Amino acid sequence: MLVSPSIVAASLLKIQDQVRECENAGSTSFHLDVMDGNFVPNITVGPDYYDFLRSISRIRIESHLMVMRPDLYYSKFAKPGDLVFIHYESPINTLGLLKRMRDEGVDAGIVINPDTPFSKVSDLLEYAQILLIMSVYPGFSGQKFIDVSDKIHEASTFIRKNGLKTKIEVDGGINDNTARIVKNAGADIVVSASYIFSGNISDRIRILSSI
């Protein structure tokens, strides 16, 4: 499957080397976790870090906006070729924002938390290139995987039946075992932070890619 390393787990001291290593090992995108300390109980990075990462990366960056007002910030993470994920649970009109992004030519994805049913976003999928299904509650790396196989299966069946192009990506607690579970349920892409960056980066990306 396709692998999107969650880059805030990389070493700040070795970021350039680790970015290159991820790319050479076959990653198809970087996953940038943006947290505002309000939508989730943690704070990570913002637009300046995105610009920095953009300047040293050769592959797509997908920014996962865990912020209260994605409508105010998405454009800062939206250079051509990149993608911005917005949470269905953000207290804004997500359909309105997805339509606006489409009108502006911004590649968009929609995210759902583990306790949000798929039915809430089925009507939004035509505006989203990727449906990101959380398999942990957002906020921290290194949490235990929550089995969301039924939801992945439901989404994958819906996408196929309706002839949509939306890809399914899964985020949280992904390792060589859980990647197999989500792949079998119908996922196309996995995000991984702690599994990739706590071991040999190239080996682990290759292992996930081969699943």
Residue 107 annotated among the catalytic residues of the structure: no
Using the rule CB under 5 A, is 62 a contact of Zn ion?
A: no
Applying CB under 5 A, among 33, 71, 82, 169 the residue interacting with Zn ion is: 33
Residue 160 CB, nearest approach to ligand DX5 (Å): 26
Torsion of CA 175, 177, 182, 187, to 10 degrees: 60
- As measured in angstroms, the least distance from the Cβ of 107 to Zn ion is 16
**Distance separating alpha carbons of residues 176 and 178, to the nearest angstrom:** 6
Q: Which is nearer to ligand DX5, 114 or 139 (CB)?
A: 139
Question: Is the Cα torsion angle 123, 170, 148, 180 positive or negative in sign?
Answer: positive
- Between CA 181 and CA 178 the distance in angstroms is 5
Rounded to the nearest angstrom, the gap between the alpha carbon of residue 63 and the centroid of all alpha carbons in its chain is 7
Name the site residues for ligand DX5 (rule: CB under 6 A).
6, 31, 33, 64, 136, 138-143, 171-174, 191-195
Task: Assess 64 for contact with Zn ion (CB under 5 A).
Answer: yes
Residues in contact with Zn ion, counted by CB under 5 A, come to a total of: 3
Cβ partners under 8 Å of residue 99, min gap 6: 127
Residues 139-178 that bind Zn ion (CB under 5 A): 171
User: Exactly one of 71, 82, 171, 188 is catalytic; which is it?
Assistant: 171
Q: With respect to ligand DX5, which residue has the nearer C-beta, 193 or 211? A: 193
Considering CB distances under 5 to 8 angstroms, the limit depending on partner class, which of Zn ion, ligand DX5, none binds residue 192? ligand DX5
Closest CB to Zn ion among residues 71, 171: 171
With contact defined as beta carbons under 8 Å apart, do 89 and 116 qualify? yes
Estimate the share of the chain in helix, then strand, then coil, as percent rounded to the nearest 5. 40, 20, 35
Query: Active-site residue 33, yes or no?
Result: yes
CA-to-CA distance for 188 and 199, rounded, in angstroms? 23
Question: Known catalytic residues?
Answer: 33, 171
Residues near Zn ion, by CB under 5 A: 33, 64, 171
